[in-house]
Protein backbone atom coordinates (compact mmCIF):
# COMPACT_ATOMS: atom_id res chain seq x y z
CA UNK A 1 0.00 0.00 0.00
CA UNK A 2 1.36 3.39 -0.97
CA UNK A 3 0.30 6.34 1.10
CA UNK A 4 -0.16 10.00 0.32
CA UNK A 5 1.96 12.45 2.36
CA UNK A 6 -1.18 14.43 3.23
CA UNK A 7 -2.50 11.32 5.01
CA UNK A 8 0.83 10.35 6.57
CA UNK A 9 1.33 10.45 10.33
CA UNK A 10 5.00 11.42 10.00
CA UNK A 11 4.54 13.99 7.25
CA UNK A 12 1.59 15.67 8.96
CA UNK A 13 3.51 15.83 12.25
CA UNK A 14 0.21 16.24 14.08
CA UNK A 15 -1.26 15.62 17.52
CA UNK A 16 -1.77 11.93 16.77
CA UNK A 17 1.97 11.54 16.22
CA UNK A 18 2.81 13.57 19.33
CA UNK A 19 0.47 11.42 21.43
CA UNK A 20 2.42 8.31 20.36
CA UNK A 21 6.01 9.53 20.44
CA UNK A 22 8.41 12.37 21.17
CA UNK A 23 10.77 13.60 18.46
CA UNK A 24 14.19 14.27 19.94
CA UNK A 25 16.78 14.27 17.17
CA UNK A 26 17.33 14.81 13.48
CA UNK A 27 20.15 12.87 11.88
CA UNK A 28 21.55 12.91 8.36
CA UNK A 29 18.37 11.72 6.60
CA UNK A 30 16.03 10.83 9.44
CA UNK A 31 14.05 11.89 12.47
CA UNK A 32 14.37 10.05 15.79
CA UNK A 33 11.51 9.54 18.22
CA UNK A 34 11.05 8.02 21.66
CA UNK A 35 7.97 5.81 21.70
CA UNK A 36 5.79 6.90 24.63
CA UNK A 37 4.67 3.35 25.39
CA UNK A 38 7.76 2.01 27.17
CA UNK A 39 7.12 -1.69 27.80
CA UNK A 40 10.47 -2.13 26.01
CA UNK A 41 12.56 0.35 27.99
CA UNK A 42 14.28 2.77 25.64
CA UNK A 43 12.17 1.95 22.57
CA UNK A 44 12.78 4.39 19.76
CA UNK A 45 11.69 4.88 16.17
CA UNK A 46 13.69 6.21 13.22
CA UNK A 47 11.69 7.68 10.32
CA UNK A 48 13.06 8.78 6.96
CA UNK A 49 12.96 12.58 6.63
CA UNK A 50 10.92 12.59 3.40
CA UNK A 51 7.87 10.61 2.39
CA UNK A 52 8.96 7.38 0.77
CA UNK A 53 6.94 4.19 1.05
CA UNK A 54 9.71 1.62 1.23
CA UNK A 55 13.45 1.17 1.62
CA UNK A 56 13.73 -0.04 -1.98
CA UNK A 57 12.57 3.36 -3.28
CA UNK A 58 15.75 5.05 -2.09
CA UNK A 59 18.88 5.32 -4.18
CA UNK A 60 21.97 3.63 -2.78
CA UNK A 61 23.36 6.79 -1.16
CA UNK A 62 20.13 7.67 0.64
CA UNK A 63 19.46 4.05 1.64
CA UNK A 64 22.95 3.73 3.10
CA UNK A 65 22.56 7.05 4.93
CA UNK A 66 19.23 5.94 6.40
CA UNK A 67 20.57 2.59 7.53
CA UNK A 68 23.59 4.38 9.01
CA UNK A 69 21.18 6.56 11.01
CA UNK A 70 19.32 3.45 12.21
CA UNK A 71 22.61 1.84 13.28
CA UNK A 72 23.68 5.06 15.00
CA UNK A 73 20.51 5.08 17.08
CA UNK A 74 20.80 1.39 18.01
CA UNK A 75 24.42 1.93 19.08
CA UNK A 76 23.30 4.82 21.29
CA UNK A 77 20.46 2.72 22.73
CA UNK A 78 22.88 -0.13 23.43
CA UNK A 79 25.25 2.19 25.27
CA UNK A 80 22.47 3.85 27.22
CA UNK A 81 20.42 0.79 28.25
CA UNK A 82 22.55 -2.34 27.72
CA UNK A 83 19.77 -4.54 26.32
CA UNK A 84 20.50 -8.13 25.41
CA UNK A 85 19.24 -7.42 21.87
CA UNK A 86 17.45 -4.72 19.91
CA UNK A 87 14.63 -5.90 17.66
CA UNK A 88 14.00 -4.05 14.41
CA UNK A 89 10.49 -3.70 13.03
CA UNK A 90 9.68 -2.18 9.65
CA UNK A 91 6.19 -3.41 8.86
CA UNK A 92 4.41 -0.43 7.25
CA UNK A 93 1.30 -2.41 6.29
CA UNK A 94 -1.05 0.46 7.07
CA UNK A 95 1.34 3.40 7.26
CA UNK A 96 3.80 3.27 4.43
CA UNK A 97 6.29 5.94 5.39
CA UNK A 98 9.73 4.40 5.75
CA UNK A 99 10.44 3.92 9.45
CA UNK A 100 12.00 1.38 11.80
CA UNK A 101 10.78 0.54 15.30
CA UNK A 102 13.75 -0.23 17.56
CA UNK A 103 12.67 -2.28 20.56
CA UNK A 104 15.29 -3.16 23.20
CA UNK A 105 14.85 -6.63 24.64
CA UNK A 106 16.12 -7.77 28.02
CA UNK A 107 16.57 -11.29 29.40
CA UNK A 108 13.53 -12.02 31.53
CA UNK A 109 11.78 -8.92 30.15
CA UNK A 110 8.58 -8.64 28.14
CA UNK A 111 8.47 -10.86 25.03
CA UNK A 112 12.14 -11.85 25.31
CA UNK A 113 12.72 -14.59 22.75
CA UNK A 114 9.68 -13.54 20.72
CA UNK A 115 8.32 -10.71 18.64
CA UNK A 116 7.76 -7.38 20.35
CA UNK A 117 4.21 -6.07 20.46
CA UNK A 118 3.52 -2.93 18.44
CA UNK A 119 1.69 -1.15 21.24
CA UNK A 120 1.12 -3.19 24.39
CA UNK A 121 -0.35 -0.15 26.13
CA UNK A 122 1.07 -1.07 29.53
CA UNK A 123 3.83 1.34 30.55
CA UNK A 124 3.64 5.12 30.26
CA UNK A 125 6.02 7.46 32.03
CA UNK A 126 6.10 10.97 33.40
CA UNK A 127 7.49 13.79 31.27
CA UNK A 128 10.58 13.80 33.50
CA UNK A 129 11.14 10.07 32.92
CA UNK A 130 10.77 10.49 29.14
CA UNK A 131 13.33 13.28 29.21
CA UNK A 132 15.76 11.14 31.21
CA UNK A 133 15.53 8.36 28.60
CA UNK A 134 15.93 10.86 25.76
CA UNK A 135 19.00 12.41 27.39
CA UNK A 136 20.47 8.94 27.90
CA UNK A 137 20.19 8.17 24.18
CA UNK A 138 21.29 11.64 23.02
CA UNK A 139 24.43 11.33 25.14
CA UNK A 140 25.62 8.59 22.76
CA UNK A 141 24.26 9.84 19.42
Q: What percent of the chain has pLDDT over 90?
A: 87
Domain count, the chain: 1
Average pLDDT over residues 55-72: 97
**Domain span including residue 63:** 5-138
pLDDT at 1: 60
What integer is the mean pLDDT of 56-71? 97
Q: Give the span between the Cα atoms of 91 and 34, in whole angstroms.
A: 18
> Are 35 and 45 in contact, with CB atoms under 8 Å apart?
yes
Q: Is 69 helix (H, G, I), strand (E, B) or coil?
A: helix
Measured from the Cβ of residue 60, the count of other Cβ atoms closer than 10 Å reads 7
pLDDT band at 26 (very low <50, low <70, confident <90, very high): very high
Confidence check: pLDDT of 95 > 80:
no
Residues of the chain above pLDDT 70, percent: 99
CATH number of 23's domain: 3.30.428.10
Per-residue H/E/C for 32-45? EEEECCCCCCCCEE
| 77-95 average pLDDT score | 91
Name the β-bridge partners of 56. none
pLDDT of residue 131: 98
pLDDT tens-digit readout, 35-54: 999 999 999 999 999 999 99
Amino acid sequence: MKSDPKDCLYCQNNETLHNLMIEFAQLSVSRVFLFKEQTYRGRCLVAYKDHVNDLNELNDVDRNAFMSDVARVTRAMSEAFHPEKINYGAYSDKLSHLHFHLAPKYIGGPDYGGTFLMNPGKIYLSEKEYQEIIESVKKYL
